[in-house]
A = this chain, B = another copy of it.
Amino acid sequence: MKVEAKLDPTPEEIVDIFNRALSKEAIVNIFAHCRVFYDGRAKSELGPGDRVIIIKPDGSFLIHQKEKREPVNWQPPGSSVGLEIKDGKLFLKSIRRKPREILEVELLKVYLISYFQAEDYEELALTGSEAEMADLIFENPSLIEEGFKPLFKEKPIKHGIVDVLGKDKDGNIVILELKRRRADLHAVSQLKRYVEAMREEYENVRGILVAPSLTSGAKKLLEKEGLEFRKLEPPKREKSKRGIQKTLFD
């Protein structure tokens, strides 16, 4: 069976279905009234309430409250899960090694337990990333300025990795820091770090922040530091499989 679901299961049925789901490498889904304890990089406690629990075959463990995009508690891929009965109470326990982290869920009442033996061979095709901004600049360097020559992508230097390293028409070294969204103070600090590292070894180093826009604080700091800004939106290209195949037949 690819999918199974049981409303108001008994403890025996919970154990039974849970084990069957594990053996099938299915995604487990539980609606429960529960308490949650976490200890690891930090430590937390969550009192009784209704939550949705998801356990994936790769060990990922998610506990969702009824609001927010983020799980209230979780365990990352690679964790090991088990279902235990202690003093007649049901506990889901997930353990991660390195760093050692423990997530424990006391199941006070299970409303629904289900599993889904999901088959999925597709990967997300996403466009509009920073990497595509870099590609775009290499294809059309004049988007930065006339005579700009991009030379390196993701170039490791003394204190970090430069997005794009090139030269301008006068032979000055130019460092580009790309941001796919509005650039902030952090982006300026990053660019400044690269420019200062390069200026230790070379003269005439320019730094350009390339982004769709700047925060007010970023603009102030950028100007004070003598760094530059070029407005550029991340491109949305045809990236889907269908799109790629289509062009093959054009």
Chain A residues proximal to chain B, CB less than 8 Å:
2-3, 5, 7, 25, 27, 29, 31, 39, 41-52, 54, 56-58, 60, 62, 64-69, 71-74, 76-77, 111-112, 114, 116-129, 159-160, 180-181, 185-186, 189-190, 192-193, 217, 220-221, 234, 236, 239-242
| Interface pair A114/B116, CB less than 8 Å apart | no
Whether B189 pairs with A127 at a CB distance below 8 angstroms is: no
A67 contacts which of B7, B31, B60 (Cβ < 8 Å)? Answer: B60
Q: Which of B7, B74, B126, B241 contacts A3 (CB 8 A)?
A: B7
Of B50, B64, B180, B189, the contact of A192 (CB 8 Å cutoff): B189
Decide yes or no: A56 and B47 within 8 Å by CB, A7-B3, A114-B31 being known contacts: no
What is the bound-complex CA distance between A45 and B236, given in angstroms?
A: 12
Say how far A57's CB is from chain B's closest CB, in angstroms: 6
For the residues of A in contact with B, the DSSP-based class is mixed
- Kindly report how many copies of this chain are found in the complex they form together: 2
Identify 17 residue pairs between A and B in the complex whose beta-carbon atoms are under 8 Å apart, listed by A's number: A27-B66, A42-B127, A44-B126, A44-B127, A44-B239, A45-B124, A46-B122, A48-B122, A50-B119, A56-B66, A56-B68, A57-B67, A58-B67, A60-B67, A69-B76, A111-B116, A193-B221
Tell me whether A122 and B64 are in contact (CB under 8 A): no
The 6 closest A-B pairs by CB, nearest first: A49-B120, A42-B128, A50-B118, A47-B122, A45-B240, A44-B126
Q: How far does the alpha carbon of A49 sit from the alpha carbon of B54 in the complex, in Å? A: 18
Collect the chain B residues with CB atoms within 8 Å of residue A48's CB. 122
Nearest B-chain residue to A58, judged by Cβ? B67
Q: Please report the C-alpha to C-alpha distance between residue A223 and residue B68 in the assembled complex, in whole angstroms.
A: 41
Of B5, B27, B49, B124, the contact of A7 (CB 8 Å cutoff): B5
* A241: chain B residues within 8 A (beta carbon): 45, 47
Contact A181 B41 (CB under 8 A): yes
Q: Which residue of B lies closest to A35 (CB)?
A: B122
Given contacts A45-B240, A45-B242, 18 further A-B contacts (CB under 8 A): A2-B111, A27-B64, A29-B31, A43-B239, A44-B239, A46-B124, A47-B122, A49-B120, A51-B120, A56-B66, A56-B68, A57-B66, A58-B66, A60-B69, A66-B118, A186-B186, A186-B189, A189-B190
